[in-house]
Amino acid sequence: MKPTQKSRRAFLSTSALAAAACSVPSRALAAFRSSPPIRLGLASYTFRNFTRAQLIASLRQLSLSALNAKDTRDHLPTEPQQEAAALADYAAAKIQLHAAGTIAFDKDDDSDLRAKFDYAKRAGIDVIVAGDPAPGTLPRVEKFVKEFNIRVAIHNHGPEDKLWPSPLDILKAIQPYDSRIGCCIDVGHTARSGTDVVAALRAAGPRLYNIHMKDLADFHDKESQVAVGEGNMPVREIFQALIAQNYQGYVDLEYEIHPDDPLPGVTQSFTYMRRLLTSLS
């Protein structure tokens, strides 16, 4: 749907605030840019009520160039010509697309899977964040992983997910398959499933290909999301574990609250994570 007039006004009114917060030079930001111990990105779903142009403007204000893009609004359409136009916009803005998703893997069908791998290949993306592939589809997924040499990171969705509530469920199921089938660990959903987040990261090890970062005030309440650093997520311990295991992927902020006005919370989250990573580097 189109952003409401309220969301447009909110975008404009908060842009100045976010720009001020992100444009002020700081030792922490300078140190982070020169040698980040962990690479930070953004899940475009965060800005699902905003156009691609507004998303790009926000990324500039956040001093961020790494994007996990989703086919939401016009962020990364699946139709080839529209996708090409989006890729041209991102290239012009010097934004790197490192993953796509989540992409629904809900059919055990060659033509459906091929279309999704072609979509990622056209974008130059080497990680597909997959939503809810049934265990029985994994042999077919493996076939395309081998053909395209594109990794698939299965996303866990917490206790409501009948297939993959925890990353540990994913790890158990994928062991017989090509190592390019791995995990996208959503730390919020992981905590809500009752799984220790840091232990899950360590268990995934080299099959950890993407992380969706969020923070919760209450691990039993999906609706309790807050800006990163304001809740109970063990963010420091998460980063320490990732650094210790030499994690090479991205930690993508997925800020799902305030969809009509996400920029203040997103800005606060990146400020916190950058300062924390600088202290750890």
CATH number at residue 93: 3.20.20.150
15 pLDDT band, cuts 50/70/90, is very low
- Residue range 143-152, pLDDT digits in tens: 999 999 999 9
What is the phi/psi pair of residue 43, to 5°? Answer: -85, 120
Q: What is the pLDDT of residue 1?
A: 42
Q: Is residue 202 part of a domain?
A: yes
Q: Is residue 17 part of a domain?
A: no
Residues above pLDDT 90, as percent of the chain: 85
Q: What is the pLDDT of residue 249?
A: 96
Q: Is residue 71 part of a domain?
A: yes
Q: Which residues contact 84 (CB under 8 A, 6 or more apart)?
A: 122
Whether residue 67 contacts residue 60, with contact meaning beta carbons closer than 8 Å, is answered with no
Q: Is residue 32 part of a domain?
A: no
Q: What is the pLDDT of residue 14?
A: 47
Q: What is the pLDDT of residue 281?
A: 80
Token pair for 53: 């142009």
Q: CA 276 to CA 107: how far, in whole Å?
A: 41
Phi-psi region of 149 (alpha: psi -120 to 50; beta: other; left: phi over 0): left
The burial of 96, by beta-carbon neighbours within 10 Å (0-12 exposed, 13-18 middle, 19 or more buried), is given as middle
- Residue range 224-280, pLDDT digits in tens: 999 999 999 999 999 999 999 999 999 999 999 999 999 999 999 999 999 999 999
Name the pairing type of β-strands 66-69 and 215-216.
unpaired
Q: What is the pLDDT of residue 30?
A: 56
Q: What is the pLDDT of residue 17?
A: 44
Q: What is the pLDDT of residue 36?
A: 78
Q: Is residue 27 part of a domain?
A: no
Q: What is the pLDDT of residue 27?
A: 56
- Residue range 97-141, pLDDT digits in tens: 999 999 999 899 999 999 999 999 999 999 999 998 999 999 999
Write out the residue range of the structural domain in which residue 219 sits. Answer: 37-280
Look at residue 24 and tell me whether its pLDDT is greater than 70: no
Please give the average per-residue pLDDT across 216-225, as a whole number: 96
Give the chain's mean pLDDT.
90
Q: Could you give the number of structural domains in the chain?
A: 1
Q: CA 48 to CA 215: how far, in whole Å?
A: 19
Q: Is residue 263 part of a domain?
A: yes
Q: Is residue 22 part of a domain?
A: no
33 pLDDT band, cuts 50/70/90, is low
Whether residue 89 contacts residue 67, with contact meaning beta carbons closer than 8 Å, is answered with no
Q: Is residue 195 part of a domain?
A: yes
- Which residues, listed in sequence order, are joined to residue 216 by a DSSP beta bridge? 225
Identify which of 9-18, 100-109, 171-180 has the greatest average pLDDT. Answer: 171-180
